[in-house]
Amino acid sequence: MMHMECDNFAEIACELAQDGLMESSIRANALEHARSCRKCEMRLASERALNQALGFAAEAEVECAPPSVKVALERAFAELPASAMTSRHADEIAMMRAARTRRFLQAAAAALLILFAAAAFYVMRSRGTGARGSGHGSPDGAVSGPSLTLELRAPGTPESPRTPAFPPSIEPHVLGPHLGRRTPSLKLRLASSRAGAAVENAEQSKPDSEAITDFIPLTYLTRSTAIESGQVMRVKVPVSTFIALGVPINNQHADELVNAELVVGDDGVMRAVRLLK
């Protein structure tokens, strides 16, 4: 059995007095040391006395808060229902409700937008039909109301301009001196890809005295490419371009350059072309 010093005994005196878990050999050494050391024996006795005193005190711990506290708390609980709902769970519920409301509002806004767009579409279409009808009835086939509406119709195909595709053969080097001259605020609208296109012009772009043909719509256009505004550009293009569009021109002049006006939308896509003198 190893000899235990007083310092070592002091380290385990508390656990020894409480009969805490320790190795049996250590316990035996400690008890043996306490029997041989008056000071450590006294220490062990005082630790045990303290444990007993604390045990008595713990057993006597029976006090409770007075009933008035409970009454006050229950009253406070009843008066603070909103505050009581500040738990994490309540926060989650509130967030879910807010998200649900937000989704409902978004759906309602989307439905309203769709309805508005559909109404606008039908209004525009009905106006376009009216414009086309009046355009057909006009002698020059161009005017609809106070704003200028140009009926773009390929020669020889008054109802269904199934002309060949317009070859994008306009090279920069063939552009004439009028390149880039833009007529401001030309507003045009393609009335119908099947019955021809109507161009609504806020201003008169050019005097018709120069024009040999009406504006010829380019056949790759669809309703989706209808434009609200654009510019007219004067360029030089090969005669073959007009031959390809069905304009009756002598093939012998196919390689020559002629003046023409292009209707170009704000998106840069050409919509129509007409031959000038």
CA distance 13 to 19: 10
Binding of residue 21 to another protein (CB under 8 A): no
Piece in contact with another protein (CB under 8 A), picked from 37-45, 156-164, 185-193, 199-207? 37-45
Q: Which of 2, 64, 173, 177 binds another protein (CB under 8 A)?
A: 64
Check residue 210 and report its DSSP letter.
S
**HEC sequence for 58-78:** HHCCCCCCCHHHHHHHHHHHH
- Which residue is listed with tokens 């070592």? 8
Piece in contact with another protein (CB under 8 A), picked from 71-79, 208-216, 252-260, 267-275? 71-79
Nearest-CA neighbor of 161 among 171, 169, 151, 174? 151
Binding of residue 162 to another protein (CB under 8 A): no
Phi-psi region of 2 (alpha: psi -120 to 50; beta: other; left: phi over 0): beta
Q: Which of 22, 28, 80, 110 binds another protein (CB under 8 A)?
A: 80
Q: Count residues contacting another protein (CB under 8 A)?
A: 45
Binding of residue 77 to another protein (CB under 8 A): yes
Binding of residue 91 to another protein (CB under 8 A): yes
Binding of residue 14 to another protein (CB under 8 A): yes
Q: Which residues pair with 236 in a beta bridge?
A: 259
Characterize the bridge pairing of strands 147-152 and 216-217.
unpaired
The answer to whether residues 141 and 198 touch, using CB atoms and an 8 Å cutoff, is no
For 246, the 3-state DSSP assignment is coil
The answer to whether residues 178 and 258 touch, using CB atoms and an 8 Å cutoff, is no
Binding of residue 72 to another protein (CB under 8 A): yes
CB of 69 to another protein, least distance (A): 5
CB of 74 to another protein, least distance (A): 7
Using the Cα atoms of residue 212, residue 170, residue 194 and residue 152 in order, give the sign of their dihedral: negative
User: Residues 97 to 126: which contact another protein by CB under 8 A?
Assistant: none
In the complex with another protein, the residue whose CB is nearer, 81 or 268, is 81
In the complex with another protein, the residue whose CB is nearer, 14 or 202, is 14
Positions touching another protein (CB under 8 A) are 10, 14, 38-40, 42-43, 45-47, 49-50, 52-54, 56-58, 60-66, 68-70, 72-74, 76-78, 80-81, 83-91
